[in-house]
């Protein structure tokens, strides 16, 4: 993706963040349905699932686990995307700092760490339309900005 008048190439990690932010703002599907295969013939797309963990002793912190599943007919495209997510999210505190820098104080959320739980390699073709799937599961902690009254 090229940005600005000088056509500066952004690092792949930032490219993925931009893509994930776009998908979150415009809706990432939560499940695979056959209509996606018809609406997006031959295209690679992602679906998501997430789980909110227990409220820890530090009540201001939230921990969640997210699974992003990449669906495609192209094995190489799946591997490229999962490898990019691996590079982006494996650096714990530094991965969280990258996201915070990208959000540039435009968000009420502050990410503290991100870690990869698992990456499942592409499964054999087993769904309608010969699509393959691979999943990346990661856990992240974040807090929200608190006002002067101690509320979110």
- In this prediction, residue 135 carries a pLDDT of 92
Q: Are 111 and 142 in contact (CB under 8 A)?
A: yes
- In this prediction, residue 147 carries a pLDDT of 76
pTM, full prediction:
0.70
What is the distance, to the nearest Å, from the Cα of residue 144 to the centroid of all Cα atoms in its chain?
A: 19
- In this prediction, residue 7 carries a pLDDT of 47
- In this prediction, residue 36 carries a pLDDT of 61
Mean pLDDT by 10 residues, the chain (152 residues): 45 59 55 60 80 78 89 88 88 89 85 92 70 90 81 66
- In this prediction, residue 5 carries a pLDDT of 41
């Amino acid at each position: 993706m090229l940005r600005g008048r000088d056509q500066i190439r952004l690092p792949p990690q930032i490219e993925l963040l931009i893509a994930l932010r776009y998908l979150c703002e415009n809706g990432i599907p939560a499940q695979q349905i056959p209509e996606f295969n018809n609406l997006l013939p031959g295209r690679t797309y992602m679906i998501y699932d997430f789980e909110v963990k227990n409220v820890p002793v530090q009540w201001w912190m939230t921990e969640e686990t997210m699974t992003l599943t990449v669906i495609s007919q192209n094995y190489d495209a799946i591997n490229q995307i999962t490898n990019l997510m691996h590079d982006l999210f494996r650096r714990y505190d530094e991965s969280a700092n990258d996201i915070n820098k990208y959000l540039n104080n435009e968000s009420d959320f502050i990410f503290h760490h991100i870690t990869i739980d698992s990456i499942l390699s592409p499964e054999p073709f087993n769904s309608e339309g010969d699509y393959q799937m691979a999943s990346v599961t990661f856990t992240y902690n974040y807090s929200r900005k608190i006002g002067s009254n101690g509320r979110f």
